[in-house]
């Protein structure tokens, strides 16, 4: 990656809507996103790769510090690689549940019914492993530091989850800790840090989810 001059053409593709349509669109999108649920039981049904590609392209439109776009999305569908990821993840998860996690943390997880077994890592058609790119090297091999990396990657992941939900796919954000085994299995360079495994596919028929509520508007916002 080399430094480039940036031009500033006039904004021509912005679309403004009448107030009434804005309300309608906002309400419709809210109603759609209200149906988003995290699941842990996935169908083995195949998903067209083009759908995943378009969702990642959407995520790649996220804002980022200095437009450095410090993310890499490694899409895993190979059964052997998924098995290796599951085995490594479950090893870390067993350590977490048996010794690393505090009693308070385990109590917080109890309503979700989670444990160290992660069959979805093999069953779901896709694992999208997201890495944060901490720096790059220019054409001379010199390091180009990236800024606001975690913030930028977090925004991108949110857009990816939204894009997948928009087309009717379900997701699970899985963050075994530590996650360095992902760099080894997927042969990623030292400048990348694993952030999340986004398990993606169709829900298993009859899947059950915990009956959880969301905070109300007045609990999460303040208008001054």
Whether 3 shows a pLDDT value over 80: the answer reads no
133-179: per-residue pLDDT in tens? Answer: 999 988 898 999 999 999 999 999 999 999 999 999 999 999 998 99
CA–CA distance from 223 to each of 22, 24, 26, 198, 217 (Å)?
20, 22, 18, 33, 10
**H or E stretch at 105:** helix 103-109
Whether 113 shows a pLDDT value over 90: the answer reads no
- Closest C-alpha to 180, from 172, 188, 168: 188
43-62: per-residue pLDDT in tens? Answer: 999 999 999 999 999 999 99
Cβ neighbors of 137 (< 8 A, separation 6 or more) are 1, 143, 144
Q: 136, 146 in Cβ contact below 8 A? A: yes
């Amino acid at each position: 990656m080399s430094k480039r001059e940036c031009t500033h053409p006039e904004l021509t593709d912005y679309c403004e809507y009448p107030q009434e349509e804005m309300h309608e669109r906002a309400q419709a999108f809210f109603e759609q996103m209200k149906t988003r649920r995290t699941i842990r039981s996935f169908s083995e049904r195949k998903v067209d790769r083009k759908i995943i590609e378009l969702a990642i392209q959407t995520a790649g439109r996220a804002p980022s510090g200095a437009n450095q776009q410090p993310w890499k999305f490694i899409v895993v569908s190979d059964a052997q690689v998924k098995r290796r990821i599951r085995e490594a993840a479950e090893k870390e998860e067993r350590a977490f549940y048996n010794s690393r996690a505090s009693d308070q943390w385990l109590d917080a997880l109890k309503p979700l019914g989670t444990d160290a077994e992660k069959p979805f890592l093999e069953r779901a058609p896709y694992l999208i492993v997201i890495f944060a790119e901490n720096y790059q090297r220019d054409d001379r091999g010199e390091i180009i530091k990236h800024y606001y990396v975690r913030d930028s990657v977090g925004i991108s992941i949110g857009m990816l989850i939204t894009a997948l939900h928009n087309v009717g796919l379900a997701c699970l954000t899985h963050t075994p800790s530590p996650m360095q085994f992902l760099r080894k299995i997927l042969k990623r360079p030292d400048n990348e840090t694993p952030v999340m495994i986004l398990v993606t596919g169709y829900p298993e028929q009859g899947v059950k989810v915990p009956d959880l509520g969301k905070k109300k508007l007045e609990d999460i916002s303040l208008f001054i």
